Amino acid sequence: MLKIGVLASGRGTNLQSIIDSIQRGDLETEIRIVISDRKGAKALARANKYHIPNQYINPDDYATKEEFEQAIINLLEEHKVELVILAGFMRLLTPYFVRHYKNKIMNIHPSLLPAFPGLNAQRQALEYGVKIAGCTVHFADEGMDTGPIILQAAVPVKEGDTEETLAERILQEEHRIYPEAIRLYSEGRLKIEGRVVKVVE
C-alpha cells in the first residue's frame, strides 16, 4: 500500500478529501504523517481527529530554508513516505527538496495551468476575464506551478462570480481529482515522458 505524507499550511480540505476517499475504499493509500509549517493549522486538527500522526515544524527554528526542509525530509523518511502530497502548503520548495523527491511530489493548483500560476489564481482568472477556470494536479518541479500535469478539471466562470464563489466551485473539483491522481500513482499508472504525464491502462 502506497505510503503518503501530506504537507499543509491551512484548512486542509484537500487532506480531508483524501481521508474521505481512503475511508470509502476508493483509495488504497495510507497517510503516514501530516506536517504543517503553521502551529494552528486546521489540517493538524483534522489529522488528530483520524489518529494520523502529525507535526508542526516551525520554520523560524532553522537558519536556512534547506535546514527547515531537511527537518521535513527526516520526518517523511522516518515514516517511510513514498509520495509527498502538497495540500495547501504555502511555501515554495527549494530545488534541494524537489530533487530529493524527484517525480514524487504532487501539488494541486486552483487554475488550468499553465494559466495563472502562483498566488490568488482565482483573482487572476476573474481579472483576466476568462470564461473557464479550473484546477490542476501536477508533479512539483523546481519552478512555481510548472511541473508535468497529471489531471485537470474545468469549471465555468459565472456572471457575478467573486473570488470566493469561484474558489468554492473549483474546490469541489479539487476534492474529486486529487484523490484520483493519487490513486493512479498508487496503481503505477502514471508515466512521465518529458513534460507529458501519460495514464497507462
Q: Which residues are catalytic?
A: 109
Report the half-sphere exposure of 52 (CA within 13 A, side-chain side).
26
The amino acid sitting at 26 is: D
Q: Which amino acid, residue 137?
A: V
Residue 114: is the preceding peptide bond cis (ω within 30°)? yes
Which residues have C-beta within 8 Å of that of residue 23, sequence separation ≥ 6? none
Backbone phi, psi, residue 35, to 5°:
-120, 135
> Are residues 88 and 8 in contact, defined by beta-carbon separation less than 8 angstroms?
yes
**Extended beta strands in the chain, E state:** 2-7, 29-36, 54-56, 83-86, 105-109, 132-139, 149-156, 190-193, 196-199
